Amino acid sequence: MKDIALRENERLDDLQRNGYRIIQNPEKFCFGMDAVLLSGFARAKKGDTLLDLGTGTGIIPILMEAKTEAAHLMGLELQPESADMARRSVEFNGLSEKIEIVTGDIKEADSLFRPASFDVITSNPPYMRKEHGLANPEEPKAIARHEIFCTLEDVVHQTAILLKPGGHFYMVHRPFRLAEIFVTLVRYKLEPKRMQLVYPYVEKEPNMVLIEAVKDGGSWMKVEKPLIIWREPGVYMPEIKDIYGF
C-alpha cells in the first residue's frame, strides 16, 4: 500500500477485507450497506471481467476484487470527485493493475466500452424517481439517490449492450419498484434468475431487494430465503457479519 494525502473532509475507512481501505468524504457521499450486500450477493468466476455501473467511490470493484478471482474489474462513475477518490483508493490498495476507474455517463457507456465485453455487470443505481423528495439536484448525495442523470431503464439498456451472452447482471434496488424492474429486465432480454429480499428486522417490511439476471437466459427464477440485517438494535445477524467480514 502506498502513502496517501487525504483532501479536505476525506477519511480512510477500513473495509475488513484483505486490509483494504477506501477514501470517503462524508460531506459528499459515503457507501452504504446496500453496496456491501450487493458485493456479497454478486458472483464472479476466475478470469471474469466485471463492470460496476455508477461505482461512486469504487466500493463494489474493490470488494469484488477481494472476494472473487475476477481477472479485471472496472468502475464507471459520472461525478469526477467520486471517481477521483475511487482511483486514489485503488492506487492506495495496490490494485491499479486489476481495477480501472472510468469517468463517464452511464447513458453513454456503450461508447466507452465494447459491446458484449463483460462477463459480469453490477449496479447500485439511484433508487428514487427524480420527483421523489428531491431537494438540491446538484448535490452528490441527490445524484447518487435520485434518477437525475440516469434512470433504471438507462442502466438496464446499457447492461444489455455491454454484457456477453450468458453474462450475469447483479443489482440492488427497492422492493416498491419490483414490478417495473422485472418488466424492464425482460424487455431487454435480461432474464431474472435469482432474488433476495432484505429486511431491517424480522418483523419489518423489506427495504432492499437483490436481483441477478442473465442475458438471454431461460425463464426460471429462484427466490432465496430472506436476508435479515439486525437481530436487535446494534447487533447484526450472523449472515451480515459474514458479508462484512467481521
pLDDT digits (tens, 9 = 90+) for 110-128: 999 999 999 999 999 987 6
- What is the four-CA torsion angle of 68, 74, 77, 81, rounded to 10 degrees? 90
Q: What crossing angle do the helices spanning 33-41 and 59-67 adopt, rounded to 10°?
A: 30
pLDDT of amino acid 12: 94
pTM for the full predicted model: 0.93
Distance CA 106, CA 186 (A): 20
pLDDT at res. 105 = 95
pLDDT by residue (tens digit) across 192-204? Answer: 999 999 999 999 9
**pLDDT score, position 121:** 98
Does position 209 have pLDDT exceeding 90, yes or no? Answer: yes
Q: What pLDDT sits at residue 148?
A: 63
Whether residue 234 is predicted with pLDDT greater than 80 in this model: the reply is yes
Higher pLDDT, 7 or 73: 73
CA distances from 152 to 5, 57, 59, 199, 220 (A): 36, 20, 20, 22, 22
Q: Which CATH class is domain 11-244?
A: alpha beta
Mean pLDDT (the chain, rounded): 91
Confidence of residue 136 (pLDDT cuts 50, 70, 90): low
With cut-offs at 50, 70 and 90, classify the pLDDT of residue 245. confident
Cell numbers for 223:
427466490
What are the angstrom distances between the C-alpha of 89 and each of 42, 56, 63?
21, 12, 12
Give, for 184, the enclosing helix (H) or strand (E). helix 178-187
Confidence of residue 131 (pLDDT cuts 50, 70, 90): low
Provide the residue ranges of all domains of the chain, joining segments of one domain with +. Answer: 11-244
Tabulate helix, strand, coil % of the chain (nearest 5): 30, 30, 40
